[in-house]
Amino acid sequence: MYTTAFKKYTSGSSRFYQEACQWLPGGVSANIKYFSPYPLVMKEADGPCLIDVDGNRYIDYNLSYGALILGHGHPAIVAAIQSQLQEAGTTTFGTPHLLEQEMGQLLVQLYPSIEKVRYTHSGMEAALLAIRLATAWTGKRKIAKFEGHYHGSFDQVLVSVNPSQRSRSQAPVPTADSYGMPDEITKNTLVLPFNDMEQTKALLEKHVHEIGAVILEPVQAGFIPPDPAFLKELRKMTRKWNMVLIFDEVKTGFRMGLSGAQGFYGVSPDLTALGKVLGGGFPLGVVGGRKEIMELCSPLRGTNILSTESDGVKYKPLFHSGTHNGHPLILTAGLTTLQLLKKDKVYRDLEQNTMKLRRGMEQILEQYGLPGKTVGVGSIFNLVMTEQPVRQIQDVLQSDQALRKKLDAFLLEQGIYVKPLNRFSTAITHTSEIIGETLDRFERGIRKLTGKE
Ligand code: PLP
């Protein structure tokens, strides 16, 4: 998809990528990092920009899949990590320490639905633990998730994340997104259509005695907002039917304000999974929620290895562990990020600049007669090549994805870094000036795409 000129500028990336293929399957460390004909290989970063091995500079709108809300190498993060290392005299203690408490207390203050937290290494592990807690709590083993919603690459949820097109009158059919998954997964994971309350209700009601947890991204893929009543209805239904409601706020947490999508929409889940922004550029996940559910993973309540009785109540053992859980350097980066995000007007400025970018892109698309619009909330959006409403993954599948991919190649060539077909996330380093520069580059890319140079 790259032009001949761009291939010339990025010959170093091509060469490094080919070499990497000798040691890494497909030359990458995660499937999502690959794109055709070869992913760009980076060697440095600076505020809003990435710099590749050929020295090309890109304004970064991928931002490590949305994690870097402060941009690259924020000086406060760098300083905090250095001083934590120096003061503690170690990278990690492998024991309880004070930062675990500090972060826990802060999260409980910021998220009204969170009473206790447990740390993990990633968003995926947070989703996994949340589901384990939920099914242990209800004693019901099956779960429900939504079509097109991503919660990590473990079997239970790697179902219908990338579905095929279907007729809207038919319910989604659970399909495994990877080879190597056990067949029974698609029987144990029910798939629901986002923003379709009628079908969702009917499906859940049919499986009311089996479904222990309903997990969803309150804003699908971080950019498709829920219909106004959708989350509230889901909350009512899950409460009535004894299903634990899990909000996976790995993308939306600390992007839609300090209390995430749940604060924004005023709906309290039972459990929440957090990650990305919270780690300040380091790998961190958190599960938080109602204390009686969270307490299931307490070693005081039926140890993880042995089932014991305490307080006269028999608790089932629920094991969860991780060598580096609550890692002090990661929590330092996370706490520093939250301190900066708590400052006045940070979210206001971020959202205003994001809106400026979105409106500018839409005006340019219109000017050049291309069908397309931005869809998003807060500081995340996507560019969907359609004029139809976008309310769920099926609408994205029906958009002109081939056109979007072509456009992405021209955007890369113009120095706008976005993973093809993926979302745009903004950072505080995307100042008004950088947004203006992005729009100039965007227009040059569109001119090339349409041949109107
Ligand atoms: N949940 C959501 C909503 C995500 O967007 C992601 C990652 O993109 C995950 C879970 C998995 O998080 P991680 O990549 O940190 O394992």
Using most ligand atoms within 8 A of CB, pick from 162, 223, 251, 425 the residue to mutate for ligand 1.
251
Please give the Cα distance from 91 to 402 (Å, whole number). Answer: 46
Q: What is the mean pLDDT of residues 257-285?
A: 98
The rounded Å distance from CA 274 to ligand 1 centre is 9
Q: Which of 52, 155, 248, 408 is catalytic?
A: 248
- In the numeric block, which tokens belong to residue 44? 């440095």
Q: What is the pLDDT of residues 309-362, one digit of tens each?
A: 444 545 557 899 999 999 999 999 999 999 999 999 999 999 999 999 999 999
Indicate if ligand 1 lies below 6 Å from the C-beta of 251.
yes
H/E element holding 341? helix 328-341
Work out the mean pLDDT of the chain and round it to a whole number: 95
Query: 75-88 and 328-341 are packed helices; what angle lies between their axes, rounded to 10 degrees?
Result: 140
Domains of the chain: 6-64+344-450 (3.90.1150.10), 90-341 (3.40.640.10)
- Is residue 448 annotated as a catalytic residue, yes or no? no
User: Per-residue DSSP letters for 109-138?
Assistant: HH-TT-SEEEEESSHHHHHHHHHHHHHHHH
The structure's pTM equals 0.96
Ligand 1 center from residue 144 Cα (angstroms): 17
Cβ–ligand 1 contact at 128 (below 6 Å): no
Residue 248 is among the residues annotated as catalytic for this protein: yes
Q: Label residue 106 exposed, middle or buried (CB < 10 Å: 0-12, 13-18, 19+).
A: middle
Instruction: Give residue-wise pLDDT tens across range 163-204.
Output: 999 999 999 999 999 999 999 999 999 999 999 999 999 999
Catalytic residue among 2, 61, 150, 417: 150
Is 13's pLDDT higher than 50?
yes
Over residues 73-104, the pLDDT tens digits come to 999 999 999 999 999 999 999 999 999 999 99
Q: Is 150 in the pocket of ligand 1 (CB under 6 A)?
A: yes
Round to whole Å and give the CA distance between 180 and 177. Answer: 10
In this prediction, residue 440 carries a pLDDT of 98
| Residue from 438, 383, 356 nearest 48 by CA | 438
> Percent of the chain, pLDDT > 70?
96
pLDDT at 30: 97
> CA nearest 324: which of 115, 94, 124, 19?
94
Per-residue pLDDT at 228: 87
- Between 300 and 40, whose confidence is greater? 40
ipTM: 0.99
Distance between CA atoms of residues 191 and 204, nearest Å: 10
Provide the pLDDT for residue 306: 41
Is residue 303's pLDDT more than 70?
no
